[in-house]
A and B are shown apart, each in its own frame.
Chain A
Amino acid sequence: MESILAVHGVSKSFGGIRALDGCSLMVKKGAVVGIIGPNGAGKTTLFKIISGFEKPDTGRVIFNGEKIENMASFEIARKGLIRTFQIPKALTKLTVEENMLLATQFQYGERIWDVLLRSAEVKRQEEASIKKARALLEFFGLLHLKDEYAGALSGGQKKLLELARALMAEPKMLLLDEPFAGVNPTLAMRILELIKELRNSGMTILAIEHDMPMIMQLCDHIYVLNKGKVIASGTPEEVRANEQVVDAYLGGV
């Protein structure tokens, strides 16, 4: 299968600290790929670079055949690469449904002139968005909360909302920043099932994760990062058997 995302030799320093040191990885279309590594390994920096929230010092990022390492983050999102955040960023002062509607791509209603002069089309598009948002909220078990302010949601519900909102943007690929962090075990299982369902529907996913058992269950392929470098990669079984990985996690090296 062809690759949808390729990272080639990406490096990034903050002052004297080398957060990423010639990091490369590849994600095939339809795959679920995980990035693991101890704290400070560079996972978050790599994620920010892929999603355009940081620019790399050197190296290339190719998404769907296009160089994206110098694109603005909103442009990368428009290409269909949608990220979530480790601490869920539900917009607490908007309702759950408004959070969802915000994610719809290429809305006429987001242009002043179209709001004022083409209200019929704006309304039609909005109605279609609402229908889609409600279907997704139902799938995520949040439909009964659609008119609540997102600030009233629990931490776990915010996590679900963020995932639902990302899907609302019809991404070609999802970047999930620690999808299981800070959720109780029951909800973690639910998120796991949801992500598996997404995979079955053909979604490509790249996830950072701390939770080893979860990521082992979920991913087809895993990259292990340590000190800004990929130190191992392979199937979950291969990675588990790798001594370097065990060392990095147990504080050796």
Chain B
Amino acid sequence: MTGTPLLALDLFVNGLIIGLFYALMAVGLTMIFGILKIVNFAHGEFYMIGAYTYTLISLGLGVSPWLALPVAAASGALLGWATERWLMRPLYTGYGSWGLMKDEYAVVVTFGLSLLLINLVDKVVGPYPVRGPALSDVTRVALGPFMLSGQKLITAGVAIVLLIGLALFIKRSLWGRQVQAVAQNRLGASIAGIDTARATSIIFMASGVLAALAGALLAPIINPAPDVGIFPAVKSYVIVVIGGMGSIPGSIVAALALGVLESFGAVYLSYDYRDTFGLVLLILVLLFRPQGLFGERAREV
């Protein structure tokens, strides 16, 4: 059980599971980038709100964590909807007339939202971490040669279901196709009669749901605190850039790869610096293939 190949396999599986959570976060971020070409710097706070909603509903009302899960999803959807409605909609209904450029506005306003949510939670709930309830008490499940905790197994399962569900939604449903159309060409889509505002709203809600559920599923491990979202958010920025901004499959692959890289790196390179691997990778990618991220770097004139 302690042989090196088995350890490596164990690290690999654990890395993949972590990668699944990164994917839940990164996919939402990349979808928002795909449709608005902006980065949501409050994405980590969607995750934080999800983790808190799940924990507080479940502990406060004494209901089963399984019932708290959909409530957390709803909180993410609501937050996504509100963000789009009040902060993002001006971006595509004539921001040109303001002094701030689109990118600047998006960075400032989402960063401001992030500050607001962190400090609101800090004030209302308190700065101390809360212990999130587990979905399963089973501490060890044998899955072939691997020993995994029940919580990890369940959450990994839910994450996979969510990602597949999202893929089906985007590919198959009418709304999903409209979203794709808007991401490719907002003007064209609106001429074709698609409600672009609604498509954007759907994306923000979906993104909020995924992030909030990631937070809820991880609540027993991370113990929600107001600033708990910062780190997963930074990870998903890295993933989204490496995976090619706006590409959903790209970010899923990058998320899984980062999870595995960190899992191995923590053992074979350095445990203390495990969180820096992704960041270094990001800077290397930007250094050596900046044009790879933009597709072909055209000088538009």
> Do the two chains bind?
no
